[in-house]
């Protein structure tokens, strides 16, 4: 059987093993209501040598004639002052969040892809706040569990800092790190065709992809117009037809096409 050997305010419980008791796991089955009674744990399995004992009050308040029942591994360490408070009849102080499994970022680490930060595992029922970091610096406005990588993230190392908070206080933990690649161009808003007195203009839209090259192609009544491969097109000879433009964007990682969201009626 395991007996209390020492009990001080800045640690949890130190235990010593009775002579001739097996060194394998042992069930502690005795209950006592005070420290002077030596035994203050019940129905627990521990190993020798034993790490700091993980305990949590089964009841919210105790008196010296009420048995203290604790369970291992449920809500962090019960400190010396908390144990003393429990045995004197007071309610033990609430426990701050403790991270037991680090946050993890998942997703494709490529520009224009979304990453997700799982907060990890924590004790003591906290709520979470997030901050995405680019090479260790906070990314403005990125304080949710998801982050869409931008051109500013290309080549950088991204991490996610998690702050866990409950009524007793807070704790913090940092996720794994992912290096972000550029990837092929991605279109976020498509091209737009507009009419001028003698020509049409194709505005290329909004893209991500770093250094890129754009090429254009105009169509009239759905038919490709040979040689109309600039952002502007002089439409003489095509009066009365409906025109739109297509844009193809290329970088070192690939290409991406997009078609204008509108068509323009060329005046007769």
pLDDT above 90 (res 30): no
What pLDDT score was predicted for residue 50? Answer: 38
DSSP letter (8 states) at residue 191: -
- Reported as a pLDDT band with limits 50, 70 and 90, residue 91 is low
What pLDDT score was predicted for residue 94? Answer: 76
CA distance 55 to 128: 24
Average pLDDT over residues 61-77: 32
Q: Compute the Cα dihedral for 234, 238, 242, 248 and give only its sign.
A: negative
**Shortest CA distance to 136 belongs to which of 170, 174, 109, 104?**
174
pTM value is 0.60
At the topology level of CATH, where does 99-179 sit?
Immunoglobulin-like (2.60.40)
Domain residue extents for the chain: 2-88, 99-179, 186-265
pLDDT above 70 (res 70): no
CA distance 26 to 189: 66
Mean pLDDT of the chain: 75
Average pLDDT over residues 140-161: 97
pLDDT above 70 (res 234): yes
What pLDDT score was predicted for residue 103? Answer: 98
At the topology level of CATH, where does 186-265 sit?
Immunoglobulin-like (2.60.40)
- Reported as a pLDDT band with limits 50, 70 and 90, residue 90 is low
Average pLDDT over residues 110-126: 96
What pLDDT score was predicted for residue 45? Answer: 37
- Reported as a pLDDT band with limits 50, 70 and 90, residue 221 is very high
pLDDT above 60 (res 60): no
Same CATH fold, 186-265 and 99-179? yes
What pLDDT score was predicted for residue 67? Answer: 30
What pLDDT score was predicted for residue 93? Answer: 63
Average pLDDT over residues 165-191: 96
Q: Which residue has the higher pLDDT, 84 or 229?
A: 229
Please tell me the least confidently modeled range out of 55-64, 103-112, 120-129.
55-64
Please tell me the least confidently modeled range out of 84-88, 222-226, 238-242.
84-88
Instruction: Produce one character per residue of 158-186: b if its CB has 16 or more CB atoms within 10 Å, e if not.
Output: bbbbbbbebeeeebebbbeebebebbbbb
């Amino acid at each position: 059987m395991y007996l209390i050997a020492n009990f001080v305010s800045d640690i949890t419980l130190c235990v010593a093993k009775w002579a001739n008791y097996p060194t394998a796991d042992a069930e502690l089955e005795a209950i006592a209501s005070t420290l002077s009674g030596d035994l203050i744990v019940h129905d627990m399995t521990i190993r020798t040598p034993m790490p700091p004992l993980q305990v949590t009050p089964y009841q919210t308040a105790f008196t010296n004639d009420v048995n203290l029942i604790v369970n291992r591994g449920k809500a962090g360490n019960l400190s010396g002052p908390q144990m003393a408070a429990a045995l004197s009849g007071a309610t033990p102080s609430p426990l701050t969040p403790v991270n037991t499994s680090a946050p993890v970022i998942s997703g494709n680490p490529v520009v224009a892809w979304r990453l997700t930060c799982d907060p990890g595992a924590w004790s003591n029922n906290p709520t979470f706040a997030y901050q995405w970091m680019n090479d260790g610096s906070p990314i403005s406005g990125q304080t949710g569990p998801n982050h869409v990588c931008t051109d500013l993230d290309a080549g950088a190392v991204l991490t996610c800092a998690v702050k866990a908070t409950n009524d007793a206080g807070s704790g913090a933990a940092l996720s794994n790190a992912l290096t972000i690649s550029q990837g092929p161009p991605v279109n976020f808003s498509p091209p737009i065709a507009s009419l001028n007195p003698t020509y049409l203009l194709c505005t290329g839209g909004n893209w991500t992809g770093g250094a890129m090259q754009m090429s254009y192609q105009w169509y009239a009544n759905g038919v490709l117009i040979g040689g109309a491969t600039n952002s502007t097109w002089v439409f003489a000879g095509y009066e009365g037809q409906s025109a739109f433009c297509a844009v193809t964007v290329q970088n070192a990682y690939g290409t991406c096409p997009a078609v204008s969201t509108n068509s323009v009626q060329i005046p007769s």
